[in-house]
Structure 1
Amino acid sequence: MELDIVCVCVWHTDRDAVVATAQVIFRKVVGVLRRPDYFFVLIAAILGFVVLALVPPLQVPDEIGHFSRAYALSELNFRQDNLSTGSGAHLPTAIGQFEEMVSRDNLPNLYTAKYTPDTARRAMAIRVTPERTDRMFVNLAAYSPVAYVPQATGIAVARLFTSRIGVMFYAARICNLLFFVGLCYAAIRLIPVGKWLIAAVLVSPMVVFLAGSLSADVSVFVYTTLLIAITMYLWTRTPPQIQTRWWVILGIVACVLALSKQAYIVFVPFVALLLVRRTKQFRWRTSQLYASRILPVLLVFLSVVVAYIGWTYVNQSTDADTSLIQRANGFAVNPEEQLRKVTSDPLYAVSTVASTAVGQASDETFQSMFGSFGRLNVNLPMWAIGMYVVVLLLFVGYVSQANASLLVQQRTLALIIAGVLVAVCSLGIFVSLLLVWTPVGAESVAGIQGRYFIPCLLLLAPGVVGVYRHTLRLRYLILPMTIVHLSMCILLIDRYYGFFT
């Protein structure tokens, strides 16, 4: 009887201790989730590694080209070669064997084809040999090496320990994901406004899907976020003096953004906000301009121009005719003829761009901004996409110290500048793809993908946060995000492994 009483007492004591420990852990987890920077790291890291593991190799848009480009860079081949078939590099035949193995049964295009353990085992067994062949990736010819530093680093490190091409591939994916998580975490910590909105955009399904791949778009997301964060931090800080090291960092970030994908050089003038004093009323008097900042801002612009011209000069002899790929696939693409048609019939260009931007073709563009996975043929349900868009809109008005907004006049100025830059960037993307990727006479612009416009959401964020306000609790915003992320994982598992069908 006494022994039973002792056992019951011990059980109650231990149970109370376990409950107390669980409560402490729960509070800590909740505390982490209430900080947007920690929330981003937790979600981006977990979901990124899940996507990295779930999505078979080379099942991401242009991933074979990104892998080839990164492998060439890991061998210190910084500029693509002009091959008989177009620009590319002389690379190990193991890359082609790896591509053929992981694409068995037409996996990229046939929904009923699944990625089996046998296929994975055979693919991971392929080793690099001295045998080499030409590999073309002409559509990546304009990209500078800065877009592939993380991927190439992973490949270079893996090559020190193994000759298995599959290990090199996954090492490149891991480094790209760590690069994304680490630098975006630093940017979210630094930016003083709209932290939650920025974090929500960066953990949106399409961004995380790309972060777990070898895509060069990851560099654009990272450098755009850093440019915005540094600019906002310097614009809102007190005292207003800016140390030289910050100008140097800002100049470097602006340069690497412009060199990652040339279309986003348009975002660099966002730093012109640093010329304007943070006052409640902007009347554009001379006293409201920081004369001491004019020269540093001009030097930032100059450094970007020099970097851009420098890379163009180095790469000028590279065959960067991206229309080669379309012609090889049987499409009547002719940039010279298309330019003549556009100049002789401007209404054709306007109607083609309008049809793609707001017409029937715009649905695919919108869907691919949030949830077109695989080779753009594994689509997240529209209810999930709609739910995530609503979450983003709610974060615009979410009242929180971590989601602080600018003063009304400051917010208006930031939104105007960002809106103009986004419009110019978007128009540039449409026009460039119309000329070099679209068959002459087509009714819509070919090659437009929604992921190209995700950096635009980031640039607009500081100006839209606080345009309205609500008092919904954070849990009601995180819950639907979690539902969308779970639906994304279920979709990918079903697509590539068929566990749910």
Structure 2
Amino acid sequence: MLANVDEPSGTTVRELPPRPRRVLDPVLGPIGRLLRRLGAAPVLYAIVAAVTVGYFIAAVPAGWGLDEQSHVNRAYQVQQGQLLPQLRDDGRTFGGEIPTDLQRFDMLGWDWANHVDYRAPYFQRHDFRDRAQYDELGSVVLGPDSPTESVDFTNAGASSFVPYLPSAVGMRIGLALHQDVATVMVLGRVVNALVAIGLTTLAIGLLRRSRSRWLLMAVGLLPSVLFLDSYTTADSFTTAICMLFVAGIVRLCTDQHPRLAIVIGTAAAGLGVVAAKPTYVLLLALALLVPLARWTTARRSDAAGRPRTLREFGAAAAFLVVAAVPTLVLLSVTSPIAKAIRLQRVGVWQGIDSGRQVHFLLEHPTALAGILGRSVASFGEWWVHGLVGAFGYNAVDLMQPFSTIAVIGVVLAAVVADRLPRLVALGMAVVGAVTALAVIVALYLTFNVVGSPDVVGVQGRYFAPLVALLGVGIAGLVPIRARVSDRGGAALFTTLAVVPLVASVVQWHVTLY
């Protein structure tokens, strides 16, 4: 320790030695500055999501994602400029002309994933069986003269073309560069993942000054959600755009003077929800909660605030009217395809008839409560697992302790989320619950015989777009309060997300190879 004498006062001033330079300072320094500038939650989410999804894209073979073969065909059709599946020659199914080499490559993965030994422990399975055959089929270069075949992908036609645009762009880039089948499919996955991660990062960034950001981060980092982001499917865009819309609504409910860009962005996200999947159109009712939040927080003596609130109610109602137009157009366009999906199931389960099913529910309105209760009792645990830790066709299910950790992370994030006015929180919980019920009823009409006592066909991934909304809504109603510092939240929720993700990656890798 060095010392010198301060001349005016004669006091001794001690000079501290310089802090030793750490090896990771050149790396951690810029990251720390980035976290402080943009907010820890969106940056941490983007880093963890990019690494995890990158692994899934690289390691999981084509065709192993749920319904991936149909979604890939739909994306290929969209990149050709055909925005809707075409009615095939059989007059019953919808699809289009797909390159035979692309179809063979994708269906090889589908065949392998659906014919594994599910009874064997995951560390003994080695599901990826023949790398040489896979590489051979994937090395074929697609060109304008490549042979094609008519393929049925009716089940990918219930959504608009919008969720498939990212994958279509990626595939188009690969085709323009004269790449082989495997590269074309990987580029489709990569662009799809970038859009999904980007939208979710934007959603978390909108709430970077709100404690609710940790809830969106926890949901976005659920293993099943990131797996959906890693392959071509409409579900990845649907989950991301719904979370962005919810984040925009929460931001508008808490900002007294929101910027016009946030208002326009939230409205655009709402229209994106319509384009993603028609079932989630009920989420647009959240727009009415924005003026409701103003009304409940404004003082009764605020004479100037009342006309403004009334104008906001009018604007929200006008938005719903405008959004109803594309909704009705989309429903009318996809209605024949949805009917074709139901007709396909008739050959599998005799007695499926949506018209008679609706008539049955109208004649027995109280039966719906019993159907829902039995379904939750029979499949509720499977739904939660499907939301958190279930993956592709080969049924690599995340081990229970790590699924529990992921659930704990979401619950804790909801506990520390900001509290909205109770009436607004109630509205969010109701809209989320009604939308979840609409998903269940839609699948009841599609996959179940008339009068079925429970609902078959519901998968946990269908509820992913609703978890953040329900978390914010229920948290505002439950009398439990907790706080966490910014650093504590970053450390806690990143750890609770990363541990299950590391387990997922290890388990997938051991199962495949």
Q: Which amino acid aligns with 1:448?
A: V
Alignment match, 1:90: 97
Q: Which residue of 1 aligns with 2:24?
A: 22
Q: Is the 8 A contact 1:323 1:437 kept in 2?
A: yes
CA contact (8 A) 1:176 1:211 kept: yes
| Structure 2 counterparts to residues 14-413 of structure 1, below 5 A | 19-23=21-25, 25-26=27-28, 29=31, 35-83=40-88, 84=90, 85-103=92-110, 105=112, 109-111=116-118, 112=125, 113-128=127-142, 129-162=145-178, 164-191=180-207, 192-193=209-210, 194-238=212-256, 240=257, 243=260, 246-276=262-292, 278=294, 288=306, 290-315=309-334, 318=337, 320-329=339-348, 332-346=351-365, 348-357=367-376, 359-375=377-393, 377-398=395-416, 405-406=418-419, 410-413=420-423
Secondary structure class of the residue paired with 1:378: coil
Please give the per-residue CA displacement for 1:83-124, whole angstroms capped at 9, x wherever unaligned: 115011222222321133334556554444324421331231
CA deviation profile, 1:137-171 (whole Å, cap 9, x unmatched): 22222211111111111111111012522222111
TM-score norm. by structure 1 comes to 0.85
* 1:297-327 Cα shifts (integer Å, max 9, x gaps): 2221122101112223444555742123323
Q: Is the 8 A contact 1:277 1:290 kept in 2?
A: no
In the alignment, the residues of structure 2 paired with residue 119 and residue 351 of structure 1 have an alpha-carbon distance, to the nearest angstrom, of 50
Residue 177 (structure 1) shift: 0.6
Q: Check 1:235–1:160 CA distance in 2 against 1; reply closer, same or farther (3 A cut).
A: same
Distance (whole Å) between structure 2 residues aligned to residue 316 and residue 262 of structure 1: 11
Unpaired segments of 5 or more residues in structure 2?
1-17, 119-124
* 1:201-241 deviation line (CA, Å, top 9, x unaligned): 10111110101111211111221122122223333334x36
Letter in 2 for 1:64: Q
CA drift at 1:19: 4.8
Instruction: Report what 1:7 is aligned to.
Output: none
Distance change (3 Å), C-alpha of 1:361 and 1:229: closer
Give the Cα–Cα distance (whole angstroms) in 1 for the partners of residues 24 and 50 of structure 2. Answer: 24
Residue 337 of structure 1, CA deviation: 4.0
**CA RMSD of superposed structures (Å):** 2.9
Q: Does 1:469 align with 2:482?
A: yes
> Match for 1:355: what amino acid?
R
Seq. identity, %: 19
Structure 1: tracts of 5 or more residues without a match: 1-15
SS at match of 2:22: helix
Deviation by residue 1:360-396 (Cα, 9 ceiling, x = unmatched): 2212111101011112722111211111111222223
Change (3 A) 1:30 1:444: farther
- The residue number in structure 2 matching 1:448 is 458
What TM-score results when the alignment is normalised by the length of structure 2? 0.83
Sort the Cα spacing of 1:168 and 1:284 in 2 relative to 1 into closer, same or farther, 3 A.
Answer: farther
How many Å separate the matches in 1 of 2:383 and 2:258? 43
The match for 2:13 is none
Aligned residue pairs, count: 471
Q: Distance in 2 between matches of 1:45 and 1:263?
A: 29
Q: For 1:429, give the aligned amino acid.
A: V
C-alpha distance in 2 between matches for 1:48 and 1:125: 23
1:282 deviates by 7.1
Give the secondary structure class of the aligned counterpart of 1:322: helix
What is the deviation of 1:469? 0.4
